[in-house]
A and B are shown apart, each in its own frame.
Chain A
Amino acid sequence: DTAVSQTPKYLVTQMGNDKSIKCEQNLGHDTMYWYKQDSKKFLKIMFSYNNKELIINETVPNRFSPKSPDKAHLNLHINSLELGDSAVYFCASSQNGQGWGTDTQYFGPGTRLTVL
């Protein structure tokens, strides 16, 4: 039973299109994240939600909009896709109990987005 799942695994689309990536976790965690991994493998946080509330919103173009319908789901919608959006997007979750920052983050398998 997959702990953190993402769909789709691969996404190929044209510039200017709008697309969504979905993430679900069945770990009962309170906090979910979106990370972007570029072509050089560098990983950077984009967003974080805790119990459906946005708590981290890094410097990301406002074409990217996260949505958390409940604490088990965090979706990422991207408007007007650009070539530079091509990357692997990882969803993650963590429990985040009383130990600030000590909890392990569990990652999904990633979604490889290619914008043509």
Chain B
Amino acid sequence: GDSVTQMEGPVTLSEEAFLTINCTYTATGYPSLFWYVQYPGEGLQLLLKATKADDKGSNKGFEATYRKETTSFHLEKGSVQVSDSAVYFCALSGVGTGRRALTFGSGTRLQVQP
């Protein structure tokens, strides 16, 4: 079945550091890929998405490129802020009848220190 693997957290960075959170997936066909963010005490918000190979999703300074050859969708940001502290989830949406639900990775907690 479909699966998503994310790097273990927590990730602790200083403000303005470069961020990478690794994400790889296993799926049949051509899934869509998503990054969601969960701020403390809140629900999940879509951060960015990519629906086909080589697409780059971007939002709020975050970027991720859909790499089919390496089955990866790594999240990057050039300069993190304290306000980016949250849990980040990589997810995929499968193709095929009925498989519209998201399969999530285990989440990576990011803590940014001033």
Contacts and interface: CB of A to CB of B under 8 A. Distances in A.
Most central of B31, B101, B109 by chain A CB within 10 Å: B101
Given A43-B89, A55-B98, A109 B43 contact: yes
A56 B107 contact: no
B100 A107 contact: no
B107 A90 contact: no
Nearest to B93: A101
Contacts of B107: 41-43
A94 interface: yes
Nearest to B49: A104
A101 B94 CA distance: 6
B43 A101 contact: no
A109 B99 CA distance: 23
Interface string B80-114: 00000001010001111011111110110100000
